[in-house]
Amino acid sequence: MSTVDQTITQLEPPPQSEASATIVLERYRLMRRLGAGAFGVVWLALDERLDRVVAVKRIEAHDPEMAARAEREAIAAARLNHPGIVALHEAGRDAEAVYLVSEMVRGKTLRDRLVAGELSDRDVARIGVALCDALSHAHARGVIHRDIKPANIIIPDNPDGEAGIVKLTDFGIALIAGDDALTRTGDVVGTLAYMAPEQADGSPVSGQSDLYSLALVLYEAFSGVNPIRAPGAAATARRVGTRLPPLSQLRPELPQQICDAIDWAVQPEELDRGSLAELREAMLEGLPETDTTAGAVDVAAIEGYQQEDLLDYSEQAPFDRSLSVPQRLIAAAAAAALVAASMLALEPIAGAPHLPLLWTAICALLAVALLPRIGALVVAAALTAFFVAAGVPGWAVLLWAGLVPAVFLLPRDPSSWLLPSLAPLLGLVSLALAFPAFAGFSASAKQRAVLAGLGFWWLALAEPIAKSRLLFGELSLSADWASSAAAGGDVVIAMVAHGVPLVALVWAAAAWILPSITASRLVFVQLAAAVLWAAALTAASVVLAGALDWPLPMPQVGVLVAGSAIAALVALAAATLRENR
């Protein structure tokens, strides 16, 4: 049911002659015409059998396209039963028209609420969570909406629970699993200004297409501007598929995790967008930090920005703007440090190829800074070739054993793929325990946990290569393990068998909860909490290692104290940064 058609607060009733006399499907008395769209007329009606008010959409049956859309909407809606989706009660037809009978939702569209300045950032975040839930329900039942836009989202006047604060409607162009007629390539339907690039190209669509459209709706709701919409259809079409300005550029006061999640979800490539679950998580996590003041967005001011600055934005962005400059620099520094440390570690090995250390590290830094995804893989491939040429293919196995989990666990953030390598580098100066606190700088809970857990994994993998104690020391290995790729695989298996992933989970949990531990606005309370957190992390790591009966010597007391102290200071710095963000 079209949201525009169901908005009953802004439409005048037609002349009395149009209403109250017609009964359709032998039970629905058409009382008042609410509105008309391209695909039918919507009426406020009375269900005389059940004595309730409903909305009836009437679609002319003589138009095959409109009749097919009506049937598609009925089939799609019949599969769905969710408080965030307008419920379909019945579908039927007579000689003249097809009728879709749905619940009557009294309220305004999201577009109307935004134009009226009635929503706060907190409201938009809550709406985002509810829409993620509604779309997840639809996707799980094989229905892809394909026309997510503010005009198809109702904000009820009297919502029924948190899940019902929005009502997603108009499934007339939905893609339904198993319907071959709706999955043909080249079937371009939807609203261009909110359409995913693959949908605009006529390529097969998926749930990722709805994710893109939803994120674009939230982008507009938070910023007041749709950066795809331009004067005229042709200009709009040219913008479809371009990279958008980071949301934080328009709304720097928004929680960073919300901006990052939306920026990721509007990436042109489907695989770079993350998921509805991740977008929902970011909305929930940033919700407490959002402003509750209605009408915080100055739409008029931003419209000028749109016209002058957004038109040529894609030409101004030679690389992926979804990754900030600090992220790129940190990732690039990690790559350079990894290359330099690897080359220094190989110096004592006879026959190791000689390369200029400084220039090689600089090349790695530039590659990752400019192209994080490709650069990280190029650095890994180059190190692999270098290790094989030096006669230590076992090292290459350990390198990929560390990188592959990062690629799979952080698919949308290539700038973080090499960051776990900083943990063993910190271990060289007895500060490995501080790495989970560094991971705590990340705004996303998932990213904090993944980075911290992978940091310990990389730390354990680096112990045999470093031939020195980075934290716990290396496992008992054969002297020539590095000369064989198979022996390198045995090292990885031994790490898993001795419970390295369990300690990695402890680090992940510590990074996950760090923001809540240091949430107080009182500095002395934050400091005390950071110290206790660092001490608990240190104790838990040592106790678990002992409980697993690792054949490893425990770290020296000085290493534990130094790492724990730096971890506390870094945790305090992370808390201060979040507070001032």
Rounded-to-integer distance, Cα 126 and Cα 133, Å: 11
DSSP category for residue 228:
T
% of the chain beyond a pLDDT of 70: 81
Q: pLDDT class for 552, splitting at 50, 70, 90?
A: low
The pLDDT of residue 355 is 65
Could you tell me the two tokens for 84?
Answer: 């965030």
Between 320 and 569, the higher pLDDT residue: 569
The pLDDT of residue 362 is 86
% of the chain beyond a pLDDT of 90: 19
Q: pLDDT class for 75, splitting at 50, 70, 90?
A: confident
Q: What DSSP element (H or E) covers 30?
A: strand 28-37
- pLDDT of 327 over the 70 cut: no
Residue with tokens 């330099």: 340
Mean pLDDT of 529-555: 80
List the chain domain ranges: 3-103, 108-316, 325-580
Catalytic residue among 5, 147, 260, 320: 147
The pLDDT of residue 245 is 86
- pLDDT of 5 over the 50 cut: no
Q: What DSSP element (H or E) covers 33?
A: strand 28-37
The pLDDT of residue 229 is 85
Residue (of 174, 175, 154, 182) closest to 85 by Cα position? 154
Q: CA end-to-end span of the chain, whole Å?
A: 41
Mean pLDDT of 485-499: 88
Mean pLDDT of 190-198: 85
Three-state SS sequence of 443-468:
CCHHHHHHHHHHHHHHHHHHHHHHCC
Task: Assess contact for 155 and 138: CB atoms under 8 A.
Answer: no
The pLDDT of residue 352 is 53
Output the CA–CA distances (angstroms, integers) from residue 24 to 45, 85, 220, 520, in the order listed.
10, 24, 39, 62
The pLDDT of residue 12 is 39
Mean pLDDT of 235-262: 86
147 as an active site residue: the answer is yes
Q: pLDDT class for 453, splitting at 50, 70, 90?
A: very high
Rounded-to-integer distance, Cα 352 and Cα 247, Å: 48
Lowest mean pLDDT among 66-80, 136-150, 175-189: 175-189
- pLDDT of 24 over the 80 cut: yes
- pLDDT of 115 over the 70 cut: yes
| Per-residue pLDDT reduced to its tens digit, 399-425 | 999 999 988 887 666 778 888 988 998
The pLDDT of residue 339 is 86
Q: pLDDT class for 315, splitting at 50, 70, 90?
A: very low
The pLDDT of residue 123 is 94
| Per-residue pLDDT reduced to its tens digit, 355-397 | 677 778 888 888 888 888 888 889 999 999 988 888 889 999 9
The pLDDT of residue 354 is 60
- The answer to pTM > 0.75 is no
Give the contacts of 556 (CB within 8 A, at least 6 positions apart). Answer: none
- Dihedral angle of Cα 118, 122, 127, 133, to the nearest 10 degrees: -170
| Per-residue pLDDT reduced to its tens digit, 328-352 | 788 888 888 888 888 888 777 655 5
Range 108-316 classified under CATH 1.10.510.10: yes
Between 462 and 296, the higher pLDDT residue: 462
Give the contacts of 114 (CB within 8 A, at least 6 positions apart). Answer: 150, 220, 221, 224, 297, 299
Mean pLDDT of 217-233: 88
Residue with tokens 């680090």: 507
The pLDDT of residue 353 is 57
Give the mean pLDDT of the chain: 80
The pLDDT of residue 322 is 42
Residue with tokens 């350990």: 398
Could you tell me the two tokens for 184?
Answer: 């043909």
Pairing of strands 143-144, 88-93: unpaired
Could you tell me the two tokens for 121?
Answer: 């950032």
- pLDDT of 1 over the 90 cut: no
Provide the H-helix boundaries in 195-295: 197-200, 207-223, 233-239, 247-250, 256-265, 276-286
Could you tell me the two tokens for 407?
Answer: 């690629």
Mean pLDDT of 109-116: 88
Q: pLDDT class for 126, splitting at 50, 70, 90?
A: very high
Helix (H, G, I), strand (E, B) or coil at 175: strand
| Per-residue pLDDT reduced to its tens digit, 257-314 | 899 899 989 988 887 788 899 899 999 989 998 988 887 665 544 444 444 444 444 4
| Per-residue pLDDT reduced to its tens digit, 502-533 | 999 999 998 888 877 877 667 778 788 888 88
Residues 3-103, CATH architecture: 2-Layer Sandwich (3.30)
Measured CA angle at 230 (ends 227, 235), to 5 deg:
120
DSSP category for residue 104:
-
The pLDDT of residue 280 is 93
Q: pLDDT class for 241, splitting at 50, 70, 90?
A: confident
Three-state SS sequence of 468-497:
CCCCCCCCCCCCCHHHCHHHHHHHHHHHHH
The pLDDT of residue 168 is 92
The pLDDT of residue 372 is 81
Could you tell me the two tokens for 426?
Answer: 């910190």
Give the contacts of 337 (CB within 8 A, at least 6 positions apart). Answer: 361, 421, 422, 425
Give the contacts of 87 (CB within 8 A, at least 6 positions apart). Answer: 77, 81, 102, 103
The pLDDT of residue 579 is 53
Q: pLDDT class for 578, splitting at 50, 70, 90?
A: low
Could you tell me the two tokens for 431?
Answer: 């500060």
